Amino acid sequence: MRQRNYTIRRRKNKHINYEERVLIEHLYNIQKLSKSEIARQIGKHRTTISREIKKGLVTLKNSDYSDRKEYVARKAQQTYEINATAKGPSLKVANDHKLAKYIEKMIKKKYSPEVIIEKLCKDKKLKTKIHWKTIYNYIDKNVINIDREDLTYGKYKTKNKEKKKESLVKKINKEGRTIHDRPQEADQRAELGHWEMDVVLGKRKGQEPVLLVLSERKSRREKIVLMKDKTQASVIKALNKIERRMGARKFRKIFKTITTDNGSEFLNYKAIERSYTKSKKPRVKQYFADAYSSWQRGTNENINKMIRRFLPKGKSFKNLTKQEVERIERWINNYPRKMFGFKSSNEIYEEYMAA
């Protein structure tokens, strides 16, 4: 059932924020609502929504190589941020070329921005007042002739890693692996075999065990595996263990697709799809949900809440045993569900398997 009404606090005369852009993406791409209907639900004027959609519109390829147009929240946000940089007061170093040249020279001599500003203040040579953090902004905006690589510190290595991850996600998405490329049978819960996969964390500090959870979309049947950590290697090992127990042929029958978020532990799609038997035939097809769109994996989200009845947030999994995990899995799969007329997921699953 589609969710038609959203409660958004109306922000009069305010720009659209990223949360609203993600919602527009869902309403426009998934629910196919008109611009007028989206405007009503977001609490904006239709013209504002029309301009916003143009800002984030991209052309994508369907599986039959025909084109389709979709609104991408991330692209719209980037366009907004680029446009925003053209506003505001003029740059302070624009009127002080001597200061700009001095900053460039000192950075090349391995001085940090903070030390440069402190030295100028001490020598009373700083006519134009700027904060040392502003120098970093000038570097990022190419205002001064310096790159992050010229800095001894402050290269933001973590950000670089995020960019690499982001570029990998974009590459994967180009290969037709987004949730929008997923078979209709999976979207409509028309058949068994389409799963959502997630990781449930215990204690967040240190290297802690985690749970790999797989939720079948039609029957809501759950598969839970205890892993030593939240890494790609552990995810592959867990899937290999499930496939080995079932047998490769049965695994392919039961696991037709798996949908995940863009977490680093799920990015090695080739290894996730590759059978432990090294067969050329893939064991499953993996698809990636959109960023910040947890509703696209609603089955995972709801069943994770059931797991939390036994394992509250913040509770360490270090003493959790395989037997306890199996007990939680059995409880979830045998729990009567109102949506199934109070039948359990196991009963629904067996009925469809027998049909």
Q: Are 225 and 241 in contact (CB under 8 A)?
A: yes
Instruction: Name the residue ranges covered by the structural domains of the chain.
Output: 18-85, 92-150, 175-354
H or E segment to which residue 61 belongs: strand 57-61
Q: How far apart are the first and last CA of the chain?
A: 25
The dihedrals phi and psi of 57, each to the nearest 5 degrees, come to: -80, 130
**CATH class label, 175-354:** alpha beta
Name the β-bridge partners of 260: 288
The enclosing H or E element of 199 equals strand 194-201
- 269 exposure class (CB count in 10 Å sphere: 0-12, 13-18, 19+): buried
The pair of structure tokens assigned to 284 is 């499953």
pLDDT digit string, tens, across residues 149-196: 677 665 554 445 455 555 566 666 667 788 999 999 999 999 999 999
Provide the pLDDT for residue 119. 79
d(CA 47, CA 117): 46
Query: For residue 258, what pLDDT is reported?
Result: 97
Q: Which residues partner with 225 through β-bridges?
A: 212
Asked if the 18-85 domain carries CATH number 2.60.40, the reply is no
The DSSP output letter for 178 is: B
pLDDT of residue 88: 47
In terms of Cα–Cα distance, which of 246, 272, 241 is closest to 258? Answer: 272
Which pTM was predicted?
A: 0.56
* Host H or E run for residue 287: strand 285-288
Nearest 5°: the CA angle 334, 353, 243 is: 80
Q: What tokens were used for 233?
A: 């290697």
pLDDT per position in the chain (355 positions), as tens?
Answer: 444 455 455 554 467 888 889 899 989 988 889 998 998 888 888 888 988 998 888 887 776 667 788 998 888 887 777 666 544 445 555 556 677 778 888 888 888 888 887 877 777 666 666 777 777 777 776 666 676 667 766 555 444 545 555 556 666 666 778 899 999 999 999 999 999 999 999 987 778 999 999 999 999 999 999 999 999 999 999 999 999 999 999 999 999 999 999 888 999 999 999 999 999 999 999 999 987 788 889 999 999 999 999 999 889 999 999 999 999 999 999 999 999 999 999 999 999 888 7
Helix (H, G, I), strand (E, B) or coil at 173: helix
Can you tell me the distance from the alpha carbon of 49 to that of 44, in angstroms, rounded to the nearest whole number?
7
Q: What pLDDT was estimated at residue 64?
A: 67
Domains 18-85 and 175-354 share a fold: no
Write out pLDDT tens, residues 139-148: 776 666 676 6
Can you give the pLDDT at residue 165?
Answer: 55
Model pLDDT, residue 157: 45
What pLDDT was estimated at residue 44? 86
